[in-house]
Structure 1
Amino acid sequence: MMKIGVFGATGRIGKLLLEEISSDADLELGSVFVRKELDISLPKGTFVTNDLEIFIQHCDVIVDFSLPEATKALLHALTSNPKPIVCGTTGLENSTLKEIDKLSENMPILYATNMSQGVAMLGEMATMLSKILSEADIEISEIHHRYKKDAPSGTAITLGQKCAKARGLDLSKVRISSRDGNIGQRSKDEIAIMSLRGGDIAGKHTIGFYMDGEYIEITHNATSRLTFAKGAIKAAKWLIKQKNGLYEIDNIFR
């Protein structure tokens, strides 16, 4: 039976992960890393600890939905004790992303800013349409609940990267995330990524391809965070069978 370690267990998705793993007959909740008391009952035998080394030792694969600084600490601990890890933490710095890439030489890592199958398919369509509709203006918008701290969302940035790559562009050079005042007309290669926050929206991402006389918009709506928890568990089951390397959520569905 595969033992999963949950890192970031007190978060919204972390709590859902605990419930889903506990109800899966093929899985065991091996260890849980927490810095404060959990308000959820856990299966007997689960290691609950605030010691990273002990946390890593008592699981076969790690699922991480935490905060950027916490993920950095976990990655550092994994340097001396490699373990398969599914990471869904967003808002990571470039230096952390580079560390993930380097660590993947010694362990299988799946990093995804969104764990849903629907978003994986949205990314595939975005790549295709960016190539085919090469003259279209691309605009991306995302809406999330009022508590989300990072903006734009990691998913929106990932989608922007796919669109830019399909056109041979570097997103960091063509992306804008605000418009205010007399800024002049839109540039040809510009890719906008705009954010809205409010209510309890789990996540909505829209990519628009705007042309003269017509436009196409494709949208993914997440109606429950449970989607992300289930996707992460599916990723963990898949990842533990893979060789060392860096994987994306898209790889699971190909």
Structure 2
Amino acid sequence: MPDSPASPGPASSVTPRFAILVAGGSGTRMGAGRPKQFLELLGEPVLLHTLRRFTEASLRVQECVVVLPPDQFDSWQQLCAQHHVAIAHTVVAGGHSRWASVRNGLAHLKSHTAGTVAVHDGVRPLVTISVIEATYAAAEAYGAAVAAVAPKDSVRSVSQQGSFALDRSRLRLVQTPQCFELQLLQRAYQLPELTTFTDDASVVEDLHPIQLVAGDYRNLKITTPEDLVLAEALLQAPSH
């Protein structure tokens, strides 16, 4: 499972880029009274940090789609007003699952016939511009690319007979963004939803090989209160 050097193809400077930020969390595991994407991270909503990363001018993202449950539209609008958000983006209603939410986000981009689209968890606000750029560039070169990191711990597989060690050098922990040629992802999402779909790469992999790009261990997904504390510390660190 070699990581891609993510060298952009010759057309990367002109390929249209789009982004779908999926934010359908309820905050149950956070023990909070509001969705985790709306929790404050250094005084701003988690989702706003994520949105700001993908609308960085150097990335050349032409359109950014934020997918939210319909009952969260008003809350997000209020937060945008409160924080004077002037970042251009479109809010689209999510579905019954992450798969359905991504499909709804793609439907908003149906008028586009070419380009590269990134799908990213709205609660991964620490993703670096370099990882986003590398994943876009690899998808432009190879058609499908996913940010991932090698596991640091030993890994075991569990069965009814017990457990056995796996070779962690052959394993990767998958992150987002996950970037794809737009028509490839649209074609994949025309297929029926399966329980084996855990991310966008699993939806696409029967149609196209998935290239791996070196991710970042700091690109954590905000799921528990401890994640929020760690994210604040990382954002305040000089190197981030």
Q: Tell me the TM-score normalised to structure 1 length.
A: 0.28
Q: Which has the larger radius of gyration?
A: 1
Q: Which has the higher contact order (CA 8 A, sep 6+)?
A: 2
